[in-house]
Amino acid sequence: MDDFKNRVEEEIYKTAKKRLKIKRGFKIHRGIYVVTVVLLTLMMTAIGIFDGGLIDSILASLVVASGWGMAVGIHFVVAMSRLKALDGNELEREIAYLKGRTGYNSLEEEKSNDVFNMNMNKIKNQKSIEKHERH
Does residue 69 sit in the same domain as residue 84? yes
Angle subtended at Cα 101 by Cα 96 and Cα 103, rounded to the nearest 5 degrees: 95
pLDDT tens-digit profile, the chain (135 residues): 578 778 878 877 888 888 888 899 999 999 999 999 999 999 988 888 888 888 888 888 899 999 999 999 999 999 988 887 776 666 666 666 666 665 555 555 555 555 556 666 666 666 666 666 665
Does residue 31 sit in the same domain as residue 95? yes
How confident is the model at residue 112, as a pLDDT?
A: 55
- Assess contact for 48 and 56: CB atoms under 8 A: yes
Identify the domain containing residue 116 by its residue range: 105-135
How confident is the model at residue 36, as a pLDDT?
A: 93
Q: Using H for helix, E for strand and C for coil, what is the string for 73-85?
A: HHHHHHHHHHHHH
**pTM recorded for the entire structure:** 0.56
How confident is the model at residue 19, as a pLDDT?
A: 84
What Cα–Cα distance (Å) separates residue 129 from each residue in 37, 62, 120, 126?
A: 85, 88, 14, 5
Does residue 31 sit in the same domain as residue 15? yes
Strands (E), the chain: none
How confident is the model at residue 67, as a pLDDT?
A: 92
- Assess contact for 83 and 21: CB atoms under 8 A: no
Characterize 24-49 residue by residue with b for buried, 16 or more Cβ atoms within 10 angstroms of its Cβ, and e for exposed.
eebeebeeebeeebeebbeebeeebe
How confident is the model at residue 66, as a pLDDT?
A: 93
Number of folded domains that form the chain: 2
Does residue 40 sit in the same domain as residue 60? yes
